[in-house]
Amino acid sequence: MKEEQHLPSFALAFLAYLELEKRYSPHTVLAYRTDLEQFFQYMQGTYGDMPLPEIRYFHIQSWLVTGIHPDKKASSSVAAVTIRRKISTLKSFFKYAVRKQLLVQSPMAKVNSPKVRKRLPVFVEEKGMQQLEQNAVEGQPVFTDDFRGATAQLIMDLLYQTGMRRAELIGLTMEQVDEGNKQLKIRGKGNKERFVPISPLLLEQITAYEARKRREIEQPDPHRLLVKPNGKPLDENYVYKVVKAALSQVTTVPKKSPHILRHTFATHLMNNGADLNAVKELLGHSSLAATQVYTHNSIEKLKKVHQQAHPKA
């Protein structure tokens, strides 16, 4: 298999498909690329120029056991969740290859993913989010009153109040804001669209930000709602830094990432009695199983309330 940038041409075509047709985020596409580069480098170094149709499940098992970390067995050196992700990458790739008639059948049928102990989603308490919403922590403002601060505050409010993903936030346009129905049309994974309601206050914040952007920023990117102070569109690192800086003032959760706000959005909805199917639709999950993890946090809260309030607890 001849390589271009460490990958065969058909693997590069698969990555382009994920980016352009499935509309996966750059972060997700990079994870797929990394897994595929590791796999094909291992195949090249171990088996030479093996044609794609000759790859069998035992070649893949060999990579999972010895190729990910050449000095140790995969089970002792790589977390099960990492193995599961790499298997998922290869399953998606070989499924694509079959659909493109590069293969008759996928070699992944006999490859089993290791079981992973479910971890409860980490989230920020409601008090902390209220402090951010009010822009006041111990009497001090969280966000500055300049355009940078306005952008940071809108980033936080949109992520928390809609549960959207970071990539969905970055790609948001004013055309996706339905002022009449007070909702956002969010374009998610696989180019799927969903509608998420927004409060009158958030809608007012969006329109005020758009007006301020036009007044203060020279030639802002015309295709994005949120921009940097230089007018350029947001990127993943910029959003991460904004979220980390804001959350550092109101919570001690170890991982202060944009995805934590998505967990927080869902958990707060469940804790306040939201229907599981409704939360699924708001998050844009394709299956209910992905949403059910948030019921555990809700149950834990109920247990705590019961222990504190019931005389027989």
312 versus 211: which is more confidently predicted?
Answer: 211
130 plus 74 within the same structural domain: no
The pLDDT-based confidence of 167 (bands split at 50, 70, 90) is very high
138 plus 287 within the same structural domain: yes
Pick the last residue of a domain from 53, 84, 99. Answer: 99
In a domain, 118, yes or no: no
Range of the domain at 66: 9-99
In a domain, 113, yes or no: no
91 plus 139 within the same structural domain: no
152 plus 252 within the same structural domain: yes
Q: What is the pLDDT of residue 65?
A: 84
Lowest mean pLDDT among 86-90, 104-108, 215-219, 272-276: 272-276
Look at the chain and report how many structural domains it folds into: 2
Verify whether residue 23 is a known catalytic residue. no
In a domain, 107, yes or no: no
In a domain, 110, yes or no: no
Tens digit of each residue's pLDDT (9 = 90 or more) over 174-214: 999 999 999 999 998 877 899 999 999 999 999 999 999 99
Verify whether residue 119 is a known catalytic residue. no
The pLDDT-based confidence of 79 (bands split at 50, 70, 90) is confident
pLDDT exceeds 50 at position 4: no
Verify whether residue 69 is a known catalytic residue. no
In a domain, 1, yes or no: no
In a domain, 120, yes or no: no
The pLDDT-based confidence of 289 (bands split at 50, 70, 90) is confident
**Average confidence score pLDDT of the chain:** 89
Query: Residue 243 belongs to a domain with what CATH number?
Result: 1.10.443.10
Q: Which of 23, 33, 86, 165 is catalytic?
A: 165
Q: What is the pLDDT of residue 127?
A: 94
pLDDT exceeds 90 at position 144: yes
What is the residue whose two structure tokens read 């919403």? 133
Pick the last residue of a domain from 64, 99, 134. Answer: 99
3-state secondary structure the chain: CCCECCECHHHHHHHHHHHHCCCCCHHHHHHHHHHHHHHHHHHHHHHCCCCHHHCCHHHHHHHHHHHCCCCCCHHHHCCHHHHHHHHHHHHHHHHHHHHCCCCCCCCCCCCCCCCCCCCCCCCCCHHHHHHHHHCCECCECCCCCCHHHHHHHHHHHHHHHHCCCHHHHHCCCHHHEECCCCEEEEECHHHCEEEEECCHHHHHHHHHHHHHHHHHCCCCCCCCCCECCCCCECCHHHHHHHHHHHHCCCCCCCCCCHHHHHHHHHHHHHHCCCCHHHHHHHHCCCCHHHHHHHHHHHHHHHHHHHHHHCCCC
How big is the chain by its Cα radius of gyration, in Å? 23
Q: What is the pLDDT of residue 1?
A: 44
In a domain, 286, yes or no: yes
Averaged pLDDT for residues 158-165:
97
Verify whether residue 84 is a known catalytic residue. no
Q: Which of 95, 212, 285, 301 is catalytic?
A: 285
Q: What is the pLDDT of residue 178?
A: 96
59 plus 141 within the same structural domain: no
148 plus 232 within the same structural domain: yes
Q: Are 105 and 231 in contact (CB under 8 A)?
A: no
Q: Which of 59, 187, 262, 268 is catalytic?
A: 262
141 plus 94 within the same structural domain: no
Q: What is the pLDDT of residue 73?
A: 47
Averaged pLDDT for residues 289-303:
74
Q: What is the pLDDT of residue 273?
A: 87
Q: What is the pLDDT of residue 232?
A: 97
Tens digit of each residue's pLDDT (9 = 90 or more) over 37-76: 999 999 999 999 999 999 999 999 999 888 675 554 444 4
Q: How far apart are the first and last CA of the chain?
A: 65
Q: Which of 95, 185, 189, 296 is catalytic?
A: 189
Share of the chain above pLDDT 70, in %: 88
159 plus 274 within the same structural domain: yes
Q: Which of 24, 32, 160, 294 is catalytic?
A: 294
Pick the last residue of a domain from 45, 80, 99. Answer: 99
Q: Which of 232, 259, 296, 301 is catalytic?
A: 259
133 plus 222 within the same structural domain: yes
Q: What is the pLDDT of residue 227?
A: 98
Q: What is the pLDDT of residue 15?
A: 97
Q: How far is 188 from 193, CA to CA, in rounded Å? A: 6
Q: What is the pLDDT of residue 165?
A: 96
72 plus 177 within the same structural domain: no
154 plus 261 within the same structural domain: yes
197 plus 63 within the same structural domain: no
Q: What is the pLDDT of residue 312?
A: 55
Sheet with 183-187, strands from edge to edge, namely 177-178, 183-187, 193-197
In a domain, 106, yes or no: no
